[in-house]
Amino acid sequence: MARGCSNFESYSMCKEHVLEHARQKLCQKEQELDIIRRGQRPPEDKAGQIAELSYNMIMEVTALTQLTDWEEETLDLKKQIRKEVQEEYEALVQALFVTCLHIKKLDENQLNLIQKVCELIGEKGLTIRKKGLKKKWGSTRPDEEMKENPAIEQLLALEQDDCSLAALVCKMRSLGHWRLAVQQAHFRGQLSRAEKEAMQSKKECLNIKLMAEQEVLLFCQQLLALRQALARAQADNAQLLKELEHRVTQEALHRQQVDLMKTSSMEKLLEDVEQKEQHLQLLTEEAKMTSKLGQLQQSRLAHERSMELDAFQWMEELQSQLSDTERSSAQRSSPGGLISLAHYSLSSASTSSRYSQQHLLKTHLMGSKITRRIQRPKTVPIKHKKRIDHVFLPNVAENVQLSGFQVKMAPSRIPFRPDW
Protein backbone atom coordinates (compact mmCIF):
# COMPACT_ATOMS: atom_id res chain seq x y z
CA MET A 1 0.00 0.00 0.00
CA ALA A 2 2.79 2.41 0.87
CA ARG A 3 4.46 1.71 -2.44
CA GLY A 4 1.22 2.34 -4.35
CA CYS A 5 0.60 5.59 -2.47
CA SER A 6 4.16 6.75 -3.17
CA ASN A 7 3.72 5.93 -6.87
CA PHE A 8 0.51 7.94 -7.06
CA GLU A 9 2.06 10.85 -5.20
CA SER A 10 5.04 10.89 -7.56
CA TYR A 11 2.69 10.69 -10.55
CA SER A 12 0.61 13.62 -9.26
CA MET A 13 3.75 15.64 -8.57
CA CYS A 14 4.97 14.99 -12.11
CA LYS A 15 1.65 16.18 -13.51
CA GLU A 16 1.78 19.31 -11.38
CA HIS A 17 5.27 20.07 -12.68
CA VAL A 18 4.09 19.56 -16.25
CA LEU A 19 1.14 21.90 -15.66
CA GLU A 20 3.39 24.57 -14.20
CA HIS A 21 5.73 24.24 -17.18
CA ALA A 22 2.78 24.56 -19.58
CA ARG A 23 1.51 27.63 -17.73
CA GLN A 24 4.93 29.24 -17.92
CA LYS A 25 5.00 28.57 -21.66
CA LEU A 26 1.54 30.09 -22.04
CA CYS A 27 2.65 33.22 -20.22
CA GLN A 28 5.71 33.47 -22.44
CA LYS A 29 3.60 33.04 -25.58
CA GLU A 30 1.16 35.70 -24.41
CA GLN A 31 4.03 38.09 -23.84
CA GLU A 32 5.41 37.31 -27.29
CA LEU A 33 1.99 37.91 -28.82
CA ASP A 34 1.74 41.29 -27.09
CA ILE A 35 5.20 42.22 -28.38
CA ILE A 36 4.29 41.14 -31.93
CA ARG A 37 1.02 43.08 -31.82
CA ARG A 38 2.83 46.20 -30.70
CA GLY A 39 5.48 45.84 -33.40
CA GLN A 40 4.85 46.78 -37.01
CA ARG A 41 5.75 44.11 -39.56
CA PRO A 42 4.51 43.11 -43.01
CA PRO A 43 1.20 41.19 -43.05
CA GLU A 44 2.69 37.99 -44.47
CA ASP A 45 5.22 37.65 -41.62
CA LYS A 46 2.51 38.47 -39.11
CA ALA A 47 0.22 35.86 -40.63
CA GLY A 48 2.96 33.22 -40.42
CA GLN A 49 3.78 34.15 -36.84
CA ILE A 50 0.13 34.18 -35.90
CA ALA A 51 -0.32 30.76 -37.48
CA GLU A 52 2.67 29.39 -35.56
CA LEU A 53 1.53 30.97 -32.32
CA SER A 54 -1.99 29.69 -32.82
CA TYR A 55 -0.62 26.22 -33.47
CA ASN A 56 1.52 26.42 -30.34
CA MET A 57 -1.42 27.70 -28.35
CA ILE A 58 -3.56 24.85 -29.63
CA MET A 59 -0.87 22.36 -28.68
CA GLU A 60 -0.55 23.87 -25.21
CA VAL A 61 -4.29 23.95 -24.72
CA THR A 62 -4.52 20.32 -25.77
CA ALA A 63 -1.69 19.48 -23.38
CA LEU A 64 -3.47 21.31 -20.57
CA THR A 65 -6.70 19.52 -21.34
CA GLN A 66 -4.85 16.22 -21.35
CA LEU A 67 -3.24 17.10 -18.02
CA THR A 68 -6.57 18.02 -16.52
CA ASP A 69 -7.97 14.75 -17.80
CA TRP A 70 -5.04 12.90 -16.29
CA GLU A 71 -5.53 14.69 -12.97
CA GLU A 72 -9.17 13.74 -12.99
CA GLU A 73 -8.20 10.17 -13.82
CA THR A 74 -5.67 10.12 -10.95
CA LEU A 75 -8.26 11.46 -8.54
CA ASP A 76 -10.72 8.83 -9.70
CA LEU A 77 -8.05 6.16 -9.34
CA LYS A 78 -7.19 7.36 -5.82
CA LYS A 79 -10.85 7.25 -4.88
CA GLN A 80 -11.19 3.79 -6.32
CA ILE A 81 -8.06 2.60 -4.50
CA ARG A 82 -9.31 4.06 -1.24
CA LYS A 83 -12.64 2.34 -1.71
CA GLU A 84 -10.92 -0.95 -2.53
CA VAL A 85 -8.58 -0.62 0.49
CA GLN A 86 -11.51 0.21 2.74
CA GLU A 87 -13.42 -2.77 1.39
CA GLU A 88 -10.37 -4.99 1.89
CA TYR A 89 -9.78 -3.66 5.41
CA GLU A 90 -13.43 -4.13 6.22
CA ALA A 91 -13.21 -7.70 4.99
CA LEU A 92 -10.01 -8.22 7.00
CA VAL A 93 -11.52 -6.71 10.12
CA GLN A 94 -14.57 -8.90 9.77
CA ALA A 95 -12.35 -11.94 9.22
CA LEU A 96 -10.19 -11.01 12.24
CA PHE A 97 -13.25 -10.51 14.40
CA VAL A 98 -14.60 -13.89 13.35
CA THR A 99 -11.23 -15.56 13.92
CA CYS A 100 -10.90 -13.87 17.31
CA LEU A 101 -14.27 -15.23 18.30
CA HIS A 102 -13.25 -18.68 17.15
CA ILE A 103 -9.90 -18.38 18.99
CA LYS A 104 -11.71 -17.24 22.12
CA LYS A 105 -13.96 -20.24 21.92
CA LEU A 106 -10.94 -22.49 21.33
CA ASP A 107 -9.13 -20.92 24.30
CA GLU A 108 -12.14 -21.42 26.50
CA ASN A 109 -12.39 -25.03 25.39
CA GLN A 110 -8.65 -25.51 25.93
CA LEU A 111 -8.80 -23.99 29.42
CA ASN A 112 -11.71 -26.17 30.29
CA LEU A 113 -9.80 -29.20 29.06
CA ILE A 114 -6.67 -28.15 31.00
CA GLN A 115 -8.70 -27.60 34.16
CA LYS A 116 -10.33 -30.97 33.75
CA VAL A 117 -6.92 -32.58 33.16
CA CYS A 118 -5.48 -30.83 36.21
CA GLU A 119 -8.42 -31.90 38.32
CA LEU A 120 -8.02 -35.45 37.10
CA ILE A 121 -4.26 -35.31 37.79
CA GLY A 122 -4.90 -33.88 41.26
CA GLU A 123 -7.45 -36.51 42.02
CA LYS A 124 -5.05 -39.21 40.85
CA GLY A 125 -2.25 -37.71 42.95
CA LEU A 126 -4.47 -37.62 46.04
CA THR A 127 -5.49 -41.20 45.50
CA ILE A 128 -1.87 -42.23 45.07
CA ARG A 129 -0.84 -40.29 48.19
CA LYS A 130 -3.61 -41.78 50.21
CA LYS A 131 -2.50 -45.19 49.16
CA GLY A 132 1.09 -44.34 50.12
CA LEU A 133 -0.02 -43.01 53.53
CA LYS A 134 -2.06 -46.07 54.13
CA LYS A 135 0.93 -48.17 53.39
CA LYS A 136 3.19 -46.04 55.63
CA TRP A 137 0.95 -45.04 58.48
CA GLY A 138 -2.05 -47.19 58.10
CA SER A 139 -4.45 -44.20 58.23
CA THR A 140 -6.07 -41.85 55.75
CA ARG A 141 -5.92 -38.36 57.21
CA PRO A 142 -5.22 -35.79 54.55
CA ASP A 143 -5.21 -32.89 56.97
CA GLU A 144 -2.33 -34.29 58.80
CA GLU A 145 -0.55 -35.02 55.53
CA MET A 146 -1.08 -31.45 54.32
CA LYS A 147 0.21 -30.05 57.54
CA GLU A 148 3.16 -32.27 57.45
CA ASN A 149 3.95 -31.78 53.78
CA PRO A 150 3.18 -28.06 52.72
CA ALA A 151 5.64 -28.30 49.89
CA ILE A 152 3.28 -30.63 48.03
CA GLU A 153 0.67 -27.84 47.61
CA GLN A 154 3.28 -25.46 46.30
CA LEU A 155 4.29 -28.04 43.76
CA LEU A 156 0.70 -28.50 42.63
CA ALA A 157 0.24 -24.72 42.20
CA LEU A 158 3.43 -24.45 40.27
CA GLU A 159 2.35 -27.29 38.03
CA GLN A 160 -0.97 -25.55 37.34
CA ASP A 161 0.86 -22.29 36.51
CA ASP A 162 3.16 -24.15 34.17
CA CYS A 163 0.20 -25.70 32.37
CA SER A 164 -1.56 -22.34 31.95
CA LEU A 165 1.64 -20.66 30.76
CA ALA A 166 2.26 -23.45 28.26
CA ALA A 167 -1.30 -23.02 26.96
CA LEU A 168 -0.82 -19.24 26.59
CA VAL A 169 2.50 -19.79 24.80
CA CYS A 170 0.79 -22.14 22.38
CA LYS A 171 -1.95 -19.58 21.80
CA MET A 172 0.56 -16.81 21.15
CA ARG A 173 2.50 -18.99 18.72
CA SER A 174 -0.66 -19.92 16.81
CA LEU A 175 -1.74 -16.26 16.66
CA GLY A 176 1.71 -15.22 15.45
CA HIS A 177 1.72 -17.85 12.73
CA TRP A 178 -1.79 -16.85 11.68
CA ARG A 179 -0.89 -13.15 11.57
CA LEU A 180 2.21 -13.87 9.54
CA ALA A 181 0.23 -15.94 7.05
CA VAL A 182 -2.45 -13.23 6.71
CA GLN A 183 0.14 -10.47 6.30
CA GLN A 184 2.06 -12.50 3.74
CA ALA A 185 -1.11 -13.13 1.71
CA HIS A 186 -2.08 -9.46 1.97
CA PHE A 187 1.36 -8.25 0.96
CA ARG A 188 1.48 -10.71 -1.93
CA GLY A 189 -1.85 -9.36 -3.22
CA GLN A 190 -0.58 -5.78 -2.86
CA LEU A 191 2.62 -6.68 -4.69
CA SER A 192 0.72 -8.28 -7.56
CA ARG A 193 -1.58 -5.27 -7.78
CA ALA A 194 1.31 -2.84 -7.62
CA GLU A 195 3.12 -4.75 -10.36
CA LYS A 196 -0.03 -4.72 -12.50
CA GLU A 197 -0.50 -0.99 -11.88
CA ALA A 198 3.13 -0.34 -12.77
CA MET A 199 2.73 -2.28 -16.00
CA GLN A 200 -0.46 -0.42 -16.80
CA SER A 201 1.16 2.93 -16.01
CA LYS A 202 4.10 2.05 -18.26
CA LYS A 203 1.73 1.05 -21.04
CA GLU A 204 -0.27 4.23 -20.55
CA CYS A 205 2.89 6.32 -20.63
CA LEU A 206 3.99 4.65 -23.84
CA ASN A 207 0.55 5.10 -25.36
CA ILE A 208 0.49 8.74 -24.29
CA LYS A 209 3.92 9.32 -25.80
CA LEU A 210 2.85 7.68 -29.04
CA MET A 211 -0.37 9.67 -29.09
CA ALA A 212 1.56 12.87 -28.41
CA GLU A 213 3.97 12.14 -31.26
CA GLN A 214 1.07 11.34 -33.56
CA GLU A 215 -0.72 14.51 -32.52
CA VAL A 216 2.44 16.52 -33.15
CA LEU A 217 2.71 15.05 -36.63
CA LEU A 218 -0.97 15.64 -37.26
CA PHE A 219 -0.74 19.22 -36.05
CA CYS A 220 2.26 19.81 -38.30
CA GLN A 221 0.35 18.41 -41.24
CA GLN A 222 -2.66 20.52 -40.31
CA LEU A 223 -0.46 23.59 -40.08
CA LEU A 224 0.94 22.95 -43.56
CA ALA A 225 -2.56 22.31 -44.88
CA LEU A 226 -3.80 25.50 -43.24
CA ARG A 227 -0.98 27.51 -44.75
CA GLN A 228 -1.72 26.06 -48.17
CA ALA A 229 -5.42 26.73 -47.68
CA LEU A 230 -4.65 30.29 -46.62
CA ALA A 231 -2.59 30.85 -49.77
CA ARG A 232 -5.36 29.35 -51.89
CA ALA A 233 -7.94 31.46 -50.10
CA GLN A 234 -5.93 34.60 -50.77
CA ALA A 235 -5.64 33.68 -54.47
CA ASP A 236 -9.35 32.88 -54.62
CA ASN A 237 -10.12 36.15 -52.89
CA ALA A 238 -8.14 38.10 -55.47
CA GLN A 239 -9.82 36.23 -58.29
CA LEU A 240 -13.23 36.81 -56.75
CA LEU A 241 -12.51 40.52 -56.44
CA LYS A 242 -11.63 40.63 -60.13
CA GLU A 243 -14.76 38.70 -61.01
CA LEU A 244 -16.85 41.03 -58.89
CA GLU A 245 -15.42 44.08 -60.62
CA HIS A 246 -16.07 42.46 -63.99
CA ARG A 247 -19.63 41.58 -62.98
CA VAL A 248 -20.27 45.10 -61.73
CA THR A 249 -19.12 46.56 -65.03
CA GLN A 250 -21.18 44.03 -66.99
CA GLU A 251 -24.25 44.74 -64.87
CA ALA A 252 -23.83 48.47 -65.45
CA LEU A 253 -23.59 47.90 -69.22
CA HIS A 254 -26.55 45.54 -69.09
CA ARG A 255 -28.60 48.10 -67.20
CA GLN A 256 -27.75 50.75 -69.78
CA GLN A 257 -28.76 48.39 -72.58
CA VAL A 258 -31.97 47.51 -70.76
CA ASP A 259 -32.78 51.20 -70.31
CA LEU A 260 -32.18 51.80 -74.01
CA MET A 261 -34.35 48.82 -74.92
CA LYS A 262 -37.08 50.05 -72.61
CA THR A 263 -37.04 53.51 -74.15
CA SER A 264 -37.11 52.08 -77.69
CA SER A 265 -39.88 49.65 -76.77
CA MET A 266 -41.90 52.47 -75.22
CA GLU A 267 -41.50 54.53 -78.36
CA LYS A 268 -42.60 51.56 -80.48
CA LEU A 269 -45.58 50.98 -78.23
CA LEU A 270 -46.60 54.61 -78.53
CA GLU A 271 -46.35 54.38 -82.31
CA ASP A 272 -48.39 51.17 -82.31
CA VAL A 273 -51.01 52.82 -80.11
CA GLU A 274 -51.27 55.76 -82.48
CA GLN A 275 -51.59 53.41 -85.46
CA LYS A 276 -54.27 51.40 -83.67
CA GLU A 277 -56.18 54.57 -82.84
CA GLN A 278 -56.08 55.59 -86.48
CA HIS A 279 -57.21 52.12 -87.51
CA LEU A 280 -60.05 52.31 -84.99
CA GLN A 281 -61.16 55.61 -86.41
CA LEU A 282 -61.17 54.10 -89.91
CA LEU A 283 -63.12 51.09 -88.64
CA THR A 284 -65.70 53.32 -86.96
CA GLU A 285 -66.13 55.25 -90.20
CA GLU A 286 -66.51 52.01 -92.14
CA ALA A 287 -69.05 50.77 -89.59
CA LYS A 288 -71.06 53.93 -90.04
CA MET A 289 -70.96 53.50 -93.82
CA THR A 290 -72.01 49.87 -93.56
CA SER A 291 -74.89 50.79 -91.24
CA LYS A 292 -76.07 53.37 -93.80
CA LEU A 293 -75.78 50.81 -96.61
CA GLY A 294 -77.73 48.31 -94.52
CA GLN A 295 -80.53 50.82 -94.03
CA LEU A 296 -80.62 51.49 -97.79
CA GLN A 297 -80.68 47.78 -98.48
CA GLN A 298 -83.54 47.25 -96.03
CA SER A 299 -85.57 49.97 -97.75
CA ARG A 300 -84.82 48.39 -101.12
CA LEU A 301 -85.86 44.95 -99.88
CA ALA A 302 -89.11 46.40 -98.52
CA HIS A 303 -89.80 47.88 -101.95
CA GLU A 304 -89.05 44.53 -103.57
CA ARG A 305 -91.40 42.80 -101.14
CA SER A 306 -94.19 45.20 -102.03
CA MET A 307 -93.53 44.50 -105.72
CA GLU A 308 -93.66 40.77 -105.11
CA LEU A 309 -96.95 41.07 -103.23
CA ASP A 310 -98.40 43.03 -106.16
CA ALA A 311 -97.24 40.28 -108.52
CA PHE A 312 -98.92 37.67 -106.32
CA GLN A 313 -102.16 39.61 -106.32
CA TRP A 314 -101.99 39.89 -110.11
CA MET A 315 -101.39 36.14 -110.38
CA GLU A 316 -104.40 35.43 -108.19
CA GLU A 317 -106.57 37.66 -110.39
CA LEU A 318 -105.31 35.81 -113.46
CA GLN A 319 -106.10 32.48 -111.84
CA SER A 320 -109.61 33.64 -110.98
CA GLN A 321 -110.14 34.80 -114.58
CA LEU A 322 -108.86 31.47 -115.89
CA SER A 323 -111.16 29.57 -113.59
CA ASP A 324 -114.12 31.65 -114.80
CA THR A 325 -113.26 31.02 -118.45
CA GLU A 326 -112.82 27.32 -117.83
CA ARG A 327 -116.17 27.10 -116.09
CA SER A 328 -117.92 28.89 -118.97
CA SER A 329 -116.22 26.64 -121.51
CA ALA A 330 -117.12 23.55 -119.48
CA GLN A 331 -120.79 24.53 -119.40
CA ARG A 332 -120.85 24.99 -123.17
CA SER A 333 -119.07 21.70 -123.96
CA SER A 334 -120.34 18.16 -123.42
CA PRO A 335 -119.91 16.46 -120.07
CA GLY A 336 -117.43 13.83 -121.40
CA GLY A 337 -113.65 13.85 -121.87
CA LEU A 338 -113.77 17.68 -122.26
CA ILE A 339 -114.69 18.10 -118.63
CA SER A 340 -111.89 15.80 -117.52
CA LEU A 341 -109.39 17.61 -119.70
CA ALA A 342 -110.54 20.95 -118.39
CA HIS A 343 -110.32 19.66 -114.85
CA TYR A 344 -106.80 18.34 -115.53
CA SER A 345 -105.73 21.66 -117.03
CA LEU A 346 -107.19 23.58 -114.12
CA SER A 347 -105.52 21.30 -111.58
CA SER A 348 -102.17 21.62 -113.37
CA ALA A 349 -102.55 25.38 -113.50
CA SER A 350 -103.45 25.51 -109.82
CA THR A 351 -100.50 23.28 -108.90
CA SER A 352 -98.13 25.37 -110.99
CA SER A 353 -99.45 28.53 -109.40
CA ARG A 354 -99.05 27.01 -105.92
CA TYR A 355 -95.55 25.87 -106.79
CA SER A 356 -94.67 29.34 -108.00
CA GLN A 357 -96.13 30.89 -104.84
CA GLN A 358 -94.20 28.50 -102.58
CA HIS A 359 -91.03 29.13 -104.56
CA LEU A 360 -91.53 32.86 -104.22
CA LEU A 361 -92.17 32.57 -100.49
CA LYS A 362 -89.02 30.44 -100.03
CA THR A 363 -86.97 32.91 -102.01
CA HIS A 364 -88.48 35.73 -99.98
CA LEU A 365 -87.60 34.03 -96.70
CA MET A 366 -84.07 33.24 -97.89
CA GLY A 367 -83.67 36.84 -98.96
CA SER A 368 -84.83 38.08 -95.56
CA LYS A 369 -82.37 35.71 -93.79
CA ILE A 370 -79.55 36.79 -96.05
CA THR A 371 -80.39 40.43 -95.42
CA ARG A 372 -80.33 39.81 -91.70
CA ARG A 373 -76.95 38.21 -92.03
CA ILE A 374 -75.76 40.99 -94.32
CA GLN A 375 -76.66 43.73 -91.83
CA ARG A 376 -73.33 43.27 -89.93
CA PRO A 377 -70.91 46.13 -90.57
CA LYS A 378 -67.60 45.71 -92.39
CA THR A 379 -68.51 42.26 -93.70
CA VAL A 380 -70.85 42.83 -96.68
CA PRO A 381 -69.38 44.96 -99.42
CA ILE A 382 -71.43 46.65 -102.15
CA LYS A 383 -70.54 44.02 -104.74
CA HIS A 384 -72.17 41.27 -102.65
CA LYS A 385 -75.35 43.31 -102.37
CA LYS A 386 -75.49 43.72 -106.13
CA ARG A 387 -75.01 39.97 -106.55
CA ILE A 388 -77.91 39.26 -104.18
CA ASP A 389 -80.14 41.64 -106.13
CA HIS A 390 -79.19 39.97 -109.40
CA VAL A 391 -79.86 36.54 -107.87
CA PHE A 392 -83.29 37.24 -106.36
CA LEU A 393 -84.81 39.51 -108.98
CA PRO A 394 -84.31 37.12 -111.96
CA ASN A 395 -85.81 34.29 -109.89
CA VAL A 396 -88.92 36.36 -109.26
CA ALA A 397 -89.11 37.32 -112.94
CA GLU A 398 -88.69 33.71 -114.02
CA ASN A 399 -91.44 32.57 -111.65
CA VAL A 400 -93.79 35.22 -113.02
CA GLN A 401 -92.97 34.24 -116.59
CA LEU A 402 -93.54 30.54 -115.83
CA SER A 403 -96.89 31.21 -114.26
CA GLY A 404 -97.94 33.35 -117.24
CA PHE A 405 -96.75 30.71 -119.65
CA GLN A 406 -98.74 28.03 -117.82
CA VAL A 407 -101.85 30.22 -117.92
CA LYS A 408 -101.40 30.82 -121.64
CA MET A 409 -100.78 27.14 -122.35
CA ALA A 410 -103.68 25.86 -120.25
CA PRO A 411 -106.53 26.71 -122.71
CA SER A 412 -104.56 25.26 -125.61
CA ARG A 413 -104.71 21.81 -124.05
CA ILE A 414 -108.53 21.80 -124.22
CA PRO A 415 -109.61 20.31 -127.59
CA PHE A 416 -111.49 22.71 -129.81
CA ARG A 417 -114.67 21.47 -131.44
CA PRO A 418 -116.37 23.22 -134.31
CA ASP A 419 -119.79 21.98 -133.07
CA TRP A 420 -120.08 25.12 -130.91
Q: Is the pTM of this model over 0.95?
A: no
Note the pLDDT of residue 346. Answer: 46
Q: Distance between CA atoms of 67 and 63, rounded to whole angstroms?
A: 6
Contact 411, 330 (CB under 8 A): no
- Output the tens digit of pLDDT for each of the chain's 420 residues: 555 556 666 666 766 777 777 777 777 777 777 777 766 555 555 666 777 777 777 777 777 777 788 888 888 888 888 888 777 777 777 777 788 778 878 877 777 777 777 777 767 767 777 777 667 665 444 444 444 456 666 766 777 777 777 777 777 777 777 778 788 778 877 887 888 887 888 888 877 887 888 788 888 888 888 888 888 888 888 888 898 899 899 989 988 888 888 888 888 888 988 999 999 999 999 998 998 898 898 888 988 888 888 888 898 888 888 888 888 888 776 454 444 444 444 444 444 445 455 544 444 444 444 444 444 444 444 444 444 444 444 444 444 444 444 434 444 443 434 343
Query: What SS3 state is found at 284?
Result: helix
Q: Distance between CA atoms of 356 and 346, rounded to whole angstroms?
A: 15
Note the pLDDT of residue 223. Answer: 83
Nearest to 323 by CA among 356, 353, 361: 353
Contact 322, 407 (CB under 8 A): yes
Note the pLDDT of residue 11. Answer: 64
Q: Distance between CA atoms of 350 and 309, rounded to whole angstroms?
A: 18
Note the pLDDT of residue 4. Answer: 58
> Around 8, how many Cα atoms within 13 Å sit in the side-chain half-sphere?
19
Q: Distance between CA atoms of 27 and 49, rounded to whole angstroms?
A: 17
Note the pLDDT of residue 404. Answer: 45
Note the pLDDT of residue 181. Answer: 77
